[in-house]
Amino acid sequence: MEGKYRHLIYDRPWPAEQQFEEKTRLLHIHMDEPIGISMRSSTTWYHTASDNGKGQHTQDCSELLSWISGDPEHPWDLGGEVILYQNGEKKVLHESFFLETPPYMPHCPYHVTKTTRPMIHVAVPVSSDMHVTNMYDFPLHDDVETHYYDSYYTFDAEGDDRKEIPGEVRVLYADGKKCPGGKVLRVSWFKENVPEGLTGMHKHDCDELLLFMGGDFYDPYDLKAEVTFTLGDEEYTINKTSYVAVPAGLVHGGFRITNLTHPMFFCAFHNSEAYRQIH
């Protein structure tokens, strides 16, 4: 793929030597990747229980964590269990969720303790040079689940006031109203073509990171669709799992979905507390 904005499309698979038997790591935008925005990300399929998650740590930026059902027919039921900790407080989760972790708040470890079908995990540090401090000895309150930090969680798509798109199943939506100080997140499954496009041409006053991911766990790098969109004055088409980084001020739009043969997973992240388009 050629073009002056090609560096904004990230589709390199996670190295094979860094894979685990119980999970498939798809993409990882490292801190040193020159994608031109203030966010990085990793995307993983979990297919069996796993303790190979991060240990407890803090970082000097917000981190956006989500686990989503890998079944578009049951998008809110994780089909398993995730246990994680925020400031040492235990949370047990069985439904698709988004978690905003503020800067310097201890969080993790996380454990995928059971699965009956694959689930998706997407992590987004809101930084281009995040610094992490490990806190393995920080005490964990493991004997009881608490609800001190429930306001940092989102479990539904309420508040997403965009116009309805045929074939879109909206799973999660978050912003600074639902989670005080939080960033904008949208999670959807697309089950039909969208030949007219998801949006018109527009720009934002903040950075945006988009994830288009193949929804077939057995062939996760293949979108089983084509997504055509415009960045600046150039048009691009992707057909494999990819991040699209959109720097603040760059005109973009379209995102036409065609030739869809399997439901496709989609995430959008904005480094802002509210979603704003400038047409």
Q: What are phi and psi of 262, to 5 degrees?
A: -155, 145
- Mean pLDDT per 10-residue segment, the chain (279 residues): 91 91 94 92 95 89 96 97 94 96 93 95 94 90 88 95 93 93 94 96 96 96 98 97 97 97 98 88
Measured between its terminal Cα atoms, the distance across the chain in Å is 28
DSSP secondary structure code for residue 152 in this structure: G
The tokens for 53 are: 């998650």
Say what the pLDDT of residue 183 is.
Answer: 94
Q: Is the pTM of this model over 0.75?
A: yes
Contact (CB, 8 A) for 59 and 100 = no
Contact (CB, 8 A) for 59 and 133 = yes
The tokens for 2 are: 């050629």
Count other Cβ atoms within 10 Å, centred on residue 226.
14
Say what the pLDDT of residue 224 is.
Answer: 98
Domains of the chain: 6-270 (2.60.120.10)
